Chains A and B, each alone.
Chain A
Amino acid sequence: MSKDFNFQVDGDKLEFTINTKIYSLETIYQAAYLFLDKVYIFLDGDPSKEIIVVMKIKDSPDNNSVDLEKIADEFHNELLNQLLRAKVNKSNAKIREYIVAQALYNAVPNEVDELLEEVEETKAENWQDDPMNIAKPWEGDKESN
């Protein structure tokens, strides 16, 4: 646990600050989301420097045993988890997109096939207009070589 993680408790509320040089606002949103069923969370502060997090216990029968200080600690752990998730996300973003595109191209070929067929048909119809000479059979070239 980092030593700089301190919080103030005031009755059923707990307040702490997060350095946005380390944890982006996005990371804070993601971490906060995971606690919304347990506590009320309110954010304030200056996103260019630090965010103030105010947590409050939910007043419900299921929440009698909720320990706000424990949740604050868990929240801080979750910030670190989110930081790693963000890195994993970022480093894999392009490769994931490529995999999904390739996989779905194979899974749902119809539209792509139709498109390719249209292109082929268009090419066949217009083969005589061939200013770049791409319709010339390469076999012929081969033979002439």
Chain B
Amino acid sequence: MSHKPYAKIMLDLQTIEKFAQDKIAYFRFKRFEDGNYLITNEYGKFLWLNEDNFKNFVLDKLDMSGPIYKELKEKLFILDKEYLGRAIRQYAQQKSFLKFGPSLHIVVVTLRCNHKCIYCHASAKTCEDKGYDMDMKTAKQTVDTIFKTTNDAIAIEFQGGEPLLNWPVIEFIIKYAKEKNKLENKNLVFRLVSNFSLLDEDKKNFLINEEVNFCTSLDGDEETHNFNRIYLEANSYQETVKWIKNINQAYDDKYHDKKRNYFSIGALITVTRKTLGNYQKVIDTYIDLGFRNISLRYLNPFGFAADTQKTIWYDPQEFIEFYKKSLDYILQKNIDGRIFYESQAVFHLRKILLNEEPNNLEMRSPCGAGIGQLAYNYNGDVYTCDEGRMIARMGDEMFKLGNIFTNNFEELINNDLCKSICSASCTDGLAGYNENVYKPYLGVCPIYNYSIHGNIFPAMKTSFRWQIDEAMIEYLFLKMKDKKILDIFTEWVKRSKPPIAK
């Protein structure tokens, strides 16, 4: 028999027995090694308590006129006479997105692409392949279907392949949707996700005049970007950067007011093994190009060939270390006076600091598949989301909701698949989530679970995604204990765009 008291314990059976059950509202908690407790509740509110305060909170022995008790009360941790009404209003506000239909509509105008990116899940077709472009009839029907949504906001996102390979359809959809919107009067926005290599002055001017938002893939510095994004016609990095500068100049010329802040190029980075060691160069490239943020998103781990996997893949721990170092580096830039934010952190921080469901639909509970977004393929097939479409590109039509020519909008949305995805992405009651202190901030992607574990319901806590999300959120909480960092995070949240999706 042996026993070493490694972990000092504060909770004891006597305290637990005396838990003030009529006074304390539902909360989740985690004890950290320094003895402090983080408590959170269903409404995304949180508070740090030291050991004594935690014990007194559980026993309802805190000084009722003191600041801690007041804060607990304000943040809905205390069952007082105002609790019920406030809790209902807060929860209804958080889940109000449930009463709107899909707002994000991803339109895949072609499967063809002129790049051969190392990580491309979409199994893009080459430029020469025929029969993978959306035709005008399908484009019109797609727009008609999109406008059936009950959501007042519509974001149409052009994707591919490389969408500029099917320019006439992009041009048609923008014009037709705008015409249609004269009657519908929706809050209509467009976004083009492109590598820019096929852009020219006419196309650029058209897109800027039509107020289309640009989003490109920039994997960092030239070496990292070109390693990931293979383009045989030219230097991918230089092409992309040339157009980023060109578009920014065009925005500067066109807008001299607040609107300029709204129109900025979005950039997506795909973090591969190559990125991990180059994080400083990658972040510096974004800052030097005038970006206001960077999005350090982990790879979606499906659909790679074994040899590709070796080149680009990483363990959760490797990504977590990369993320922490990158966030520290970015925070130092902010401390030095440059306001530049990390978008994944902001998605979490909007939930943590504003208690708002994020625009990142896979971080919502339930997720946005079907109820927040839809993906329309070049041939009119409709999928729950872009990830669902990616799975289909690998030969599995599990997440296909139907086709715009054979199904009406209600049939696409109101079906068993949509309901199952919704149910599988509600974190309430899910093993490992329900008791997790970070549960209010965690989301579930059933498509990810299906692709990795063969089941839309989440797998064990050993899952890659879970480990990373939890570690990222925990790191944000730990950083926020420093008032200086909390101020920076608050500024990031203020400056980040509010969600388009309701």
Give the B-binding residues of A (Cβ under 8 A): 1-2, 5-9, 22, 30, 33-34, 36-37, 62, 67, 69-70, 73-74, 76-77, 80-85, 87-92, 95-96, 98-100, 102-104, 106-110
| Bound CA–CA A90/B315 (angstroms) | 38
Interface contacts (Cβ under 8 Å), in number, total 118
Can you name 5 extra interface pairs (CB under 8 A) apart from A7-B2, A81-B11, A110-B99? A7-B1, A37-B467, A73-B7, A87-B19, A90-B21
Q: How far is the CA of A105 from the CA of B12 in the complex (A)?
A: 40
Are the CB atoms of B92 and A104 closer together than 8 Å? yes
Given A99-B84, A99-B91, A107-B96, also A33-B432 (CB < 8 A): yes
Among B9, B24, B96, which residue has its beta carbon within 8 angstroms of that of A80? Answer: B9
Residues in B neighbouring A104, C-beta threshold 8 A: 92, 95, 98
Residue ID in chain A nearest B91 by CB atoms: A103
Residues of B433-463 whose CB lies within 8 A of A? 435, 460-462
B58 and A84: CB pair below 8 A? yes
Interface size class of B (residues with CB under 8 A): 35 or more
The answer to whether A37 touches B5 (Cβ under 8 A) is: no
Contacts of A73 in B (CB 8 A): 4-7
A33 touches B431 (CB 8 A): yes
Q: Is B199 an interface residue (CB 8 A)?
A: no
Q: Are A33 and B461 also in contact (CB < 8 A) when A84-B58, A88-B26 are? A: yes
Kindly report which residue of chain B lies nearest to residue A82, judged by CB atoms.
B435
The reply to whether B1 and A8 contact each other, CB–CB distance below 8 Å, is yes
Contact B6 A69 (CB under 8 A): yes
Q: How far is the CB of A61 from chain B (nearest CB, A)?
A: 9
Q: Contact check, B432 vs A69: say whether CB atoms are below 8 A apart.
A: no
Chain A residue contacts of B432, Cβ below 8 A? 33-34
Instruction: Evaluate contact between A84 and B11: CB separation under 8 angstroms.
Output: yes
Cβ–Cβ contact A80 & B3, under 8 A: no
Residues of chain A within 8 A (CB-CB) of B26 are 88-89, 92, 95-96
Known: A104-B95, A104-B98. Is A1-B21 also a contact (CB below 8 A)? no
Residue of B6, B431, B462 contacting most chain A CB atoms (<10 Å):
B6
Distance of A142 from chain B, by nearest CB (Å): 31
CB pair A34 B11 closer than 8 Å: no
By beta carbon, the residue of chain A nearest B8 is A1
Chain A proximity of B447: nearest CB distance (Å): 23
A70, A77, A82, A106: the one contacting B92 at CB < 8 Å is A106
- Option from A9, A30, A76, A103 in Cβ contact (under 8 Å) with B88: A103
Q: Top 8 closest A-B pairs, CB basis?
A: A91-B21, A103-B91, A92-B26, A103-B92, A37-B462, A70-B6, A73-B7, A106-B92
Which residue of chain B lies nearest to A84 when distances are taken between CB atoms in the complex?
Answer: B16
Across the two chains, which residue of chain A brings its CB closest to B87? A99
Q: A34-B461, A88-B26, A109-B99 are known contacts. Are A83 and B5 too (CB-CB below 8 A)?
A: no
Q: Give the shortest distance, in Å, between A114 (CB) and chain B (any CB).
A: 13
Question: Do residues B461 and A107 form an inter-chain contact, with CB atoms below 8 A?
Answer: no
> B98 to chain A: which residues have CB within 8 Å?
104, 107-108
CB distance from A141 to the nearest CB of B (A): 33
Asked if B116 lies at the interface with its beta carbon under 8 angstroms from chain A, I say: no
Nearest CB in chain A: distance from B471 CB, A: 12
Q: Which residues on the A side are within 8 Å of B461 (C-beta)?
A: 33-34, 36-37
Q: Which of B32-66 contact A (CB under 8 A)?
A: 42, 58
**B58-108 with Cβ < 8 A to chain A:** 58, 79, 84, 87-89, 91-92, 95-96, 98-99
CB pair B7–A77 under 8 Å, yes or no, is yes
| Nearest-Cβ distance from residue B17 to partner chain A, whole angstroms | 9
| Interface hub of A33, A37, A73, A103 (most chain B Cβ within 10 A) | A103
Q: A34 — which chain B residues lie within 8 A by C-beta?
A: 432, 461
A85 in complex: contacting residue of B1, B7, B435, CB < 8 Å:
B435
Q: Which of B7, B29, B88, B462 contacts A70 (CB 8 A)?
A: B7
CB distance from A8 to the nearest CB of B (A): 6
**Which residues in window 445-490 of B have CB below 8 A to A?**
460-462, 467
**B21 contacts A107, C-beta separation under 8 Å:** no
**Which residues from B are CB-within-8-Å of A87?**
16, 19, 21
CB of B25 closer than 8 Å to a CB of A: yes
Nearest CB of chain B from residue A42's CB, rounded to whole Å: 16
In the complex, B231 has a CB within 8 A of chain A? no
B13 within 8 A of A: yes
> In the complex, what distance in Å separates the CA atom of A103 from the CA atom of B99?
12
Do A62 and B12 touch across chains, with their CB atoms under 8 A apart?
no
Q: Are A88 and B19 in contact (CB under 8 A)?
A: yes
27 contacts between A and B (CB under 8 A): A6-B3, A7-B1, A9-B2, A33-B431, A33-B461, A34-B461, A62-B315, A62-B317, A67-B6, A69-B6, A70-B4, A70-B7, A73-B5, A73-B7, A77-B9, A80-B12, A84-B16, A87-B19, A91-B19, A92-B26, A95-B84, A96-B26, A96-B42, A98-B84, A102-B88, A106-B92, A107-B95
Instruction: Let me know if B3 and A100 touch, CB within 8 A.
Output: no
How far apart sit A9 and B3, CA to CA, in the bound complex (Å)? 10
* Bound CA span A90–B24, Å: 12
Question: What is the CB-to-nearest-CB distance from B82 to chain A, in angstroms, rounded to a whole number?
Answer: 13
Q: How far is the CB of B483 from chain A (nearest CB, A)?
A: 29
Q: With a CB–CB cut-off of 8 A, which chain A residues contact B21?
A: 87, 90-91
Q: Which residues of B contact A83 (CB under 8 A)?
A: 13, 16
B31 at the A/B interface (Cβ < 8 Å)?
yes
- What's the nearest-Cβ distance from chain B to residue A104, in Å? 6
Q: Once bound together, how far apart are the Cα atoms of A1 and B11, in whole Å? A: 9
Q: Are A69 and B4 in contact (CB under 8 A)?
A: yes
Whether A1 contacts B5 in the complex (CB less than 8 A), given A36-B460, A37-B460, A84-B11, comes out as yes
Distance of B273 from chain A, by nearest CB (Å): 17
A100/B462 in contact, CB under 8 A: no
Interface flags for B415-432 (1: CB within 8 Å of A; 0: not) read 000000000000000011
